[in-house]
Chain A
Amino acid sequence: MLPLIGLLMGIALGLILKIPIPPSYAKYMGVAILAALDSAFGGIRATMEKKFDDKLFITGFFSNTILAALIVYLGDRLGVEPLYYAAIVAFGVRLFQNIAAIRRHIFKSRHWE
């Protein structure tokens, strides 16, 4: 419940604040959001597995986000733009894994298996 309230608050804040992001940074931002989502789902999964640690969660959230953006930036600088895809694939795969794990936990906890 709380995460949902937080998300809605964030969306409302974003709509009100209208933070301007330069279009040239949109690429980094996109990957960073992917990483953030990955962290969030990772947190949900950890909660379900009863090993959620808020310190781990928050450091993971920020480090993943910043790292993702950094990898894309590095790829741009080095002329290896496909590095962008590496970041997307890495975080995308983790996102899918987390969601799959969450699904499995829900199944297990409700004895649907």
Chain B
Amino acid sequence: MTQEARVRAPAESRPASPSSGEGPSPRRSRTRRLHDAVTGYSFLAPNLVLIGVFLFLPLVWALLISFRETNGFGDGDFVGLANYQRLLSDPAFWRSLANTVLFTALVVPLSLLAGLGCAVLMNSVLPARGLFRTLIILPMAISGVATALIGVLVFDQNTGIANKLLGAIGISQVPWQSGGTAAFISVVLVTLWWRIGFNMIIYLAGLQGISPELYESARLDGAGPWQRFRFITVPMVGPSTFFLLVMNVIYSFQVFDIIFVMTNGGPGRATSVLVTYAYERGFSTREQGYAAAIGMVLLLVTLAFTALQWRYSRTRDLVE
């Protein structure tokens, strides 16, 4: 900026005097808009570069690879939509897709409910709530792989804690690692344990933004605890719920580490999900083209779910 520009800048930034009867000239207005745009994009540039290089570029690359048949090395051969056609007749893909949807359908509502429940408890006058908050948030601080290794210890069907506890109360051994349904439940439980802390934090922030006067006036009007929760708390944390819904659906569709470590998709394909299946195809059998096609399907499904949530969520922008 030149000395003249620095001197002139304050004058330019002043609003036009209402009594003067004239606004800024069109030329000045254009210059200012241009200046604002350059400033805005300058601030955005680092993030745009990062998103472009690490998100959009790989995305486009994956799309291009999904049209090729590869063997792990070299560019492979262009095969058009053959990889997508192969998906249609691949039972392992359909099983993995169904498992992914079921996993999402179980984990998202359960983790939201548990997260909200914990947040309400932690927002009340609970003794040692700082300690409880820390305990619930703790899994968030460790990696998914570490969480899954703890899950393996808990749900090992020969020596795990879960079966020992069940045995102590007279319940027969559960085949956590050899029964399809039990294995699926075990990965859902570990995922919930991992994710509830994050949901609780977001809900806690949402709860602390609700004015106490709302609850007070509801009490004066005779509303009971359940009515206050149902008609004040739930709608007022709507923006948090919307955010968490979108994030949890995306996380659930992309689940990998916990399943990979705990069950590796087994027994059979009982816990195979789209990302573990894509990993298997991409890195075990080195069919990156086919794996990329699975990834593109996952992207489309995730986008479709997010768009539906965006379209039909009525409380995402609710404020007092």
Chains A and B bind each other: no
